[in-house]
Amino acid sequence: MKNSNLKGALGAVAIVGLAIAVKKISQKRKFLKAIFEEYDIQEKTPFGFADKIREMDDEKYAELKSKMKEKFASKCCKSACRTQKSEP
């Protein structure tokens, strides 16, 4: 009986983990969709995205870069780790 309870508990934890992963993926997709709409990017491939970046002026590129960096930056808990990455 103990073994089946353990399997049930591990199954519940796996389902919760999967739900959290799906939620994060959904949030990232919504963010990217908003970026594509904001900058009028029609082609959803990396090549289409790169072509649109080449056409941008420096100001728009810097804005896009900061948005992407903010959203997809590492969530490292140590501030010393973040400063080392930005200093080189």
Specify the range with the lowest mean pLDDT, choosing from 16-20, 21-25, 83-87.
83-87
Answer yes or no: are the C-beta atoms of 53 and 46 closer than 8 Å: no
Q: Is residue 86 part of a domain?
A: no
Q: How many domains does the chain have?
A: 1
Which structural domain, as residue segments, surrounds residue 25?
12-73
Q: What is the mean pLDDT of the chain?
A: 83
Q: What is the pLDDT of residue 42?
A: 84
* 25 token code pair: 């993926």
Q: Is residue 81 part of a domain?
A: no
**Residue 23 confidence (pLDDT) above 90:** yes
Q: Is residue 20 part of a domain?
A: yes
**Residue 22 confidence (pLDDT) above 90:** yes
Higher pLDDT, 70 or 22: 22
Q: Is residue 5 part of a domain?
A: no
Q: Is residue 60 part of a domain?
A: yes
Q: What is the pLDDT of residue 16?
A: 95
d(CA 51, CA 69): 19
* 14 token code pair: 């796996």
